[in-house]
Homo-oligomer: A and B are copies of this chain.
Amino acid sequence: MKKNRTVWSNRLSKGNSKNFQRIGSSINVDKRLYKEDILASIVHTHMLIKQKIIPKKDGLRIIKGLKKIEKEIDKNKFKFKEQFEDIHQNIEKRLFQIIGESAGFLHTARSRNDQVVTDFKIWVKHSTEDIIKFLDNLIRSILNKSENNINTVMPGFTHLKNAQPVSFAHYLLAYVEMLIRDKKRFLNNIILIDECPLGSAALAGTAFKIDRKFTAKKLGFKKPTNNSIDSVSDRDFAIDFLSAAATCAMHLSRLAEDFIIFNSEAFGFVEFRDKVLTGSSIMPQKKNPDPAELIRGRTAINYGNLNSMLTIMKGLPISYYKDLQDDKELVFDSYDTLKDSLLMAIELIQNLNTKKNNMKQMAQKGYTTATDFADFLSMKKKFPFRKGYYISSKLVNYAEKKKIRLDQLSKGEINKFVKVDIDIPKMFDVVNSMNSKTSFGGTSTKNVKKMIIKYRKDLK
């Protein structure tokens, strides 16, 4: 075998064209898998020795050589070569340089087809665990911020129109619910990914007496995969990661959108510390919430990657095809993007100040307690809700015409619509309204406090 050539250099007499060598090579992307690749090779070699498939002496030299290579890469002393196409050949070729012909025993009973999917699954599993940690940190930040805003009343919105008064903490906890679902989704992925493809070889399995349960266990998988063809064809785990990442990014984009709106001069609900803001090159006064906009915009990156991966897989005959090469770049990019978005979300939350007066003032606009009055008629006057609703809407029309708030109406004015004896300021008070929502999951401070305690407990 020629030293500086691919393993198939005998079969394919000439090297690849310059363009194709550059384009076909994936080493710039998949070198990120070097630790997983070396780990899997070491475990594979241990198994080959244990099963007496290769001589122990050669096996041990392989393992030693692989560890040396890992250190070289760790220390940035490894020279990745494009002509060896990918991380697998780069390492095997270097192994030959270090330990000579013994290196030839390494690729027994395996193929790059099962090797790459094993490496990649290990990486995705660990990266999923990483994301879960970031999710926990974000939840923690939100809980801290919520704790200081249990009594902060703001208008809840539907259609971006003032709807009913809610607690800012309750609003923030809605995001905790989303993030908890994200965690569940990522945790489900870890269960789905938990089968080891190593030993499926090219696509048919192998005649060597390998022990796949051994390698599966040593690599942290629950068991080996059931079908060798499926093993090398399957990229569901990549889609699952990208899909959970897309949904999580979507949640963050909603938070970002809310913050961008709340941070506008018109809303003025929140402000952020300078360390998460940027200025303008022309407008001297500007303070822009760039991180929120990046979170929102980059959701599109997470979507696009999912879209690309699904498109790659659509109508692909089974088993391995080079189309699959780009799976790693897509997943790496979605991981990096989501991690950065989570980081920015954490910093935004930590650097956010609530402008409570503005929030409260805004909560009083838009007749946000009209529903409370309808409910009151239903409770106290035993009106059908639709009747109470109808009367309340007449009251709103009247107040709107007079350009006053509902709590500025006189008893006499109200009595023109319905005979009731109420404490007007209390009836239409936004804090009262908020605290009356004591149904499970409602926005009363009592509920909110309980939920924060519960979330904290679940986090531990």
Contact = CB atoms under 8 A, between A and B. Distances in A.
B308 A304 contact: yes
A230 to B, nearest CB: 4
Contact of A17 (B11, B276, B386): B276
A265 B192 contact: no
A256 B323 CA distance: 11
A283 B158 CA distance: 10
A305 interface: yes
A192 B301 CA distance: 25
Contact of A10 (B159, B343, B390, B442): B390
A157 interface: yes
Given A275-B17, A317-B254, A389-B7, A160 B297 contact: no
A226 to B, nearest CB: 6
A447 interface: yes
Contacts of A264: 157, 160-162, 266-267
A430 to B, nearest CB: 11
A118 interface: no
A222 interface: no
Contact of A104 (B23, B204, B387, B393): B387
B321 A205 contact: no
Contact of A284 (B253, B279, B374): B374
Interface stretch (A28-36, A64-72, A206-214, A418-426): A206-214
Given A161-B286, A192-B185, A443-B204, A297 B325 contact: yes
Given A261-B317, A384-B105, A207 B311 contact: no
B322 A290 contact: yes
B227 A291 contact: no
A183 to B, nearest CB: 11
A318 to B, nearest CB: 6
B206 A161 contact: no
Interface string A264-285: 1111100000111111111111
Count chain B CB atoms within 10 A of each CB in A178, A290, A317 and give the residue with the most: A317
Interface stretch (A74-82, A122-130, A232-240, A408-416): A232-240
B319 A288 contact: no
A23 B293 contact: no
Contact of A282 (B156, B202, B212): B202
17 contacts: A7-B281, A8-B281, A103-B384, A104-B383, A161-B288, A166-B229, A170-B227, A174-B230, A177-B226, A213-B440, A229-B443, A243-B247, A257-B315, A284-B371, A284-B392, A300-B312, A314-B314
Given A108-B384, A300-B309, 12 more contacts: A161-B264, A163-B203, A164-B204, A170-B204, A173-B230, A201-B282, A254-B318, A278-B322, A282-B389, A300-B308, A300-B312, A303-B314
